[in-house]
Chains A and B, each alone.
Chain A
Amino acid sequence: MPEHRIILKDADVPNIQDIEVYIANGGYRAAEKALKTMTPDEVIKEVQDSGLAGRGGAWFPTGTKWSFMPKEPKVPSYLCVNADESEPGTFKDRQLIEKNPHQLVEGTIIAAYAIRARAAYIYVRGEMAEGMRGIDRALAQAYARGYVGKNLFGKGYDLDIYTHPGAGAYICGEETGLMQSLEGKRAEPRVKPPFPAQRGIFGCPTTVNNVQTLSYVPHIIDNGAAWFKGIGNPKYPGTFIFCVSGHVRNPGLFEMELGAATMRQLIYEYAGGIRDGRELKAVIPGGASTLPMKPDQIDIVMSPDQFLLPGRGPFKGMFGTGGIIVIDETTCVVDMLLNLMQFFAHESCGQCTPCREGAPWVRDVVRRIEHGQGRPGDIDLLLNVADNVAGLLSPRYSTICLFGPAFSYPTQGTILAFREEFEEHIRQGRCPIQKDKGIR
């Protein structure tokens, strides 16, 4: 099945970053329709009926999330846009922001109107300074036209939209960490409840949506809920952007209906197969926090309902963010896990002991195995540490946020799938793989 582009459709239209060009391509029609002809509740209903679910990984129904916000706010309500994309292997928000910032601004206007927000903050990760400047330019144009600011579309609704820069911390992608960071604090996630809709930024009701989710909103308002609901998988309607990277010939973004392709097709047809004619060894299906899969598992249809989360039935792995990292036979999986654990050890916010201590411990034990100093019992030690942070087969975890599971699941998953390779490292006292990871 070919790609089905909705939110990437206009990405390559020349100068779509300019408001004139964006409008000429149908832009801001949906915002005008929503604000002029619909009440906030009608917008929420439309998005609920469309079946749009959060693309950040949790797949929570977007319209339902919006419906938790106060209908008659006594204090200001806020919208936060999560543009802190930083899950390794995921690179779609950068494209959505840099290529088509007005689409995000328009989605933000409609969402803010629906939840009756006084202001919206687009939290952009610090490493996307250029993208943030692009959003700022788009916002300045939208303000000048009266699409943002006072009395939007002459309907008496006031909305300010601001960008807010992050400063390099992965944990700001976690919604409560993001809110802490937006308040000028260390991004240490908060205990839920209270949920953001009850008590979010500045102590006020807040909705957090991510960039990809909001990018669909103008299209849903423009074309109607039934149109979106009818696309692809009825359980997970609409499209999704897969990001394929690693050892493939044609890495890139592929916007597809959910369920339209298998992992095999994504790797071998869309991304052109493994580079240099090599063999596939492993694939990470949805960002660094998901479980690596082996070549005999890649006929799975790429849709969240095919991947069941721990504790919700037969365990088949995790769907994640769409960040597919393809790994060929010249890669050592212990080295791969070491790379990921260096990432997680660096990015743990340090608030909860199991995570602050566990992630560096896992990194250090994996490192000594990779460097030929592994000891008998190290593999079970790793499984034990990881299981104490978050067990793969049970829904319990011992940390405030999902960062604990994010590093302990792939640790367990990599060992479960490739245990013999870990054992071989310990037996031989060295890494047995002929690696090819030099610069070209």
Chain B
Amino acid sequence: MSVQFSSEARKEFDELLTHYPYKEPALLPVLHLAQREFGHLSLEVLKYVADLLELPPARVAGVATFYPMYHFKPVGKYLLHVCATLSCALLGAEGVAGYLQEKLGVKVGETTPDGRFTILKVECVASCGTAPVLMLNETLIHHITKAKLDDILADPEAYVTKKKT
């Protein structure tokens, strides 16, 4: 099989299995692990996960597609998750998405041709007090302004690594 966990991921997988009395409950964390390893959950990856957990592939696909954080097509290196729910919307979420679309030349849900950025709209990320917010990969960035968006797009790595917040 061409899809396979690295030895490090395999170790993490084995550790995850020890958390549960049987294999199936490990599905969500294993899907997260697979997404981190392979970038997105292709059919091949879903089948691989199904084999590892001894589940029918359709079962794995049915569960994976329930949850918005899993991606089934390639996405950019940097995911720009724009929170679109009320507290953020009141303070400019539409403008955040609009400004990103204008700067990057792609729409929400699309990836820039160089494969660097994907814009995504997400529902409430539970940081309403610092609205509007944006999640860059797993890093939450507060009080978004146009100036801050310019800075994020110019140097996303500084935010991912928390040199800037």
Q: Please report A residues at the B interface, Cβ cutoff 8 Å.
A: 76, 85-91, 93-94, 121, 125-130, 160, 162, 164-170, 181-187, 201-202, 243-247, 251-253, 284, 288, 323, 325, 327, 331, 336, 339-340, 342-343, 346-347, 349, 437-440
Known A86-B126, A166-B28, A245-B129; contact A327-B90, beta-carbon cutoff 8 A: yes
A346 touches B28 (CB 8 A): no
Check if A127 sits within 8 Å of B125, measured CB to CB. yes
Residue pair A89, B128 in contact (C-beta under 8 Å): yes
Nearest CB in chain A: distance from B4 CB, A: 21
The distance from the CB of B9 to the nearest CB of chain A, in whole angstroms, is 15
B69-A126 in contact (CB<8A): yes
Closest to A251 in B: B129
B interface list, Cβ under 8 A from A: 19-22, 24-29, 31-32, 53, 55, 62-63, 66-70, 81, 84-87, 89-92, 94-96, 98-99, 122-132, 135, 138-140, 144-146
B81: chain A residues at CB < 8 Å are 127
- If A243-B128, A244-B129, A252-B129 touch, whether A438 touches B86 (CB-CB below 8 Å) is no
Q: Which residue of A lies closest to B97 (CB)?
A: A439
A245 touches B27 (CB 8 A): no
CB pair B132–A439 under 8 Å, yes or no, is yes
Interface centre among A185, A187, A252, A439, by most B CB within 10 Å?
A439
Q: Within 8 Å CB of B130, what residues of A?
A: 251
A309 to B20, CA, bound (A): 38
B86: which A residues are within 8 A, CB to CB?
Answer: 88-89, 246, 284, 288, 325, 336, 339-340, 343
Nearest-CB distance from A246 to chain B (Å)?
5
Partner of B27, one of A90, A170, A184, A202: A184
Contact A246 B28 (CB under 8 A): no
Can you list 29 A-B contacts with CB-CB less than 8 angstroms, sorted by A residue number? A86-B126, A88-B128, A91-B129, A93-B126, A127-B125, A130-B138, A162-B19, A165-B28, A167-B32, A168-B69, A170-B124, A182-B25, A185-B24, A185-B63, A202-B25, A244-B129, A245-B87, A246-B87, A246-B90, A251-B128, A252-B129, A325-B128, A340-B86, A343-B124, A437-B92, A438-B95, A439-B132, A439-B145, A440-B92
CA distance A67 to B82 in the complex (A): 43
Contact in complex: A339, B27 (CB < 8 Å): no
Complex: chain B residue closest to A440, CB-CB: B145
Q: Please give, as numbers and ranges, the residues of chain A lying within 8 Å of B89 by CB-CB distance.
A: 339, 437
- State which of B32, B95, B122, B146 has its C-beta within 8 Å of the C-beta of A127: B122
